[in-house]
Structure 1
């Protein structure tokens, strides 16, 4: 079969011929419907020598959905042909966090290598999943459309949920960055806290138009005027919750400027920026956190929201042969929602 693989540091990924994996005891072979292309993949592909602990090569694609193709001996709970979503963070399964479904915070990180981020992922016709505990039923959702639920939606959902207690009537949430993650965060905010005012900030007018369609109450072009407008909306207090989906130094500086006392600044984007913290900044008792992915129970909730039509990712599909093109477009900011590779048509 063909697989789109990361082969050499600081080199473009390439399409290669590999063997179809055979599921061993407890394992599952998935026929891939869709595999999302994520900005974190670009950070990995462009990482300097020595910055990664991954063994190369491996197949990209850590947002995956498809159909059960074959069950290894002892693998139960699913049948061949079932449409499934693949939970991304693969933990040890035995530590206290894994036991409650928080494999994203596995206490044995040496055993935690997700498919597409160190192990072979879903940008191939088939993908090997180590356990059925990483599979969730999709019901009537199309795997080619649903793949981004496993990261873009789950990561946004987890980030919003940590602050949900702050988002009552009269509250304000600001989403910095209206790309794929930001668009999903806006929808999650509206689904979980309809009473909050949601403000989207971006450098792209086109992405702000999309943010408005996703439910943002106000959209602002990034800059000093945006900071001033947030202050006006919040009567000088600042936003209750600021979600930085970009994570570069200028967006983090903006996040601090528009945060409020007892608020939350959540850094979701992995742009590599730095946020100075001292007695005077951010605002007093403003919590700053950088969450990672989300839990299995949260992914179940995300699927429920998608099945109810409360959240939906804008998806642009690419055949496996055009995976490289999809990443070039992603790099240049030309994907409005999420690029999804569809290896099986």
Structure 2
């Protein structure tokens, strides 16, 4: 039987493709940095809320965590949007809640004051090897410790959150006093503003076994030596999930599960780090759009309803507060009419 030239070429191409795909690629050696793990701790991130609740807990939960890299719609068939520029996936954080409060206050001030300011969120985050402290040069005056995150923060790494809002009575009083008395832009009272924190029910206490990674040079993405920033980022993720940093196999596997990053099981694992989001509750999304400053509810419940992440029992309490406010308003109008 004579085989046509076209069939022969296709057969050769398929064989060549199979051989090429079956040929394993040798990974680069792990970076030789003398890495170690810091003690477990907490850091804080300040995010000003944008349009359509961008930056809120409900938004980040739907994205699978906190990152500047966007995902497709939650539960979509494609869970990855491809590699992002490293500049788009690294973020800056604060070491404690005092500096976070001050950052949130400055966000309010920079927006023109309480009457014009969008809500500002403060997130408390458990440290892990996807975080790395960066040394600040001694020559910089009043420099604070800097922490960078690689790829993003899985939602299970978020411990709790709170919000600073323009209608907060303490915020309004401090701002008015600052304007009327030409006082400092950062009044001392900012550190004492009362905040109501909401615990993340999806937080995984397993993060408490890990800390930030130490020993990675601050200029790691500047001296690339022929690699791309993306190559270096993947190498770092491979390093922080390796036996070099976590010698115990069981602990290492737990960490890989927390980060959803296991290049032994998935050699082609790539950014974005966050691949799986969670659907938003319709009730929570609707409640987050109500102007709750006009409804009398406890601060803890108000944080829950505006966050877009709320329990069923809290939904009932919030709706009951709306009903009572509406009934009170209706009675007042009837009294005026009579």
TM-score (norm 2): 0.21
Structure with larger Rg: 2
Structure with more relative contact order (C-alpha pairs < 8 Å, separation 6 or more): 2
TM-score (norm 1): 0.21
Structure with greater strand share of residues: 1
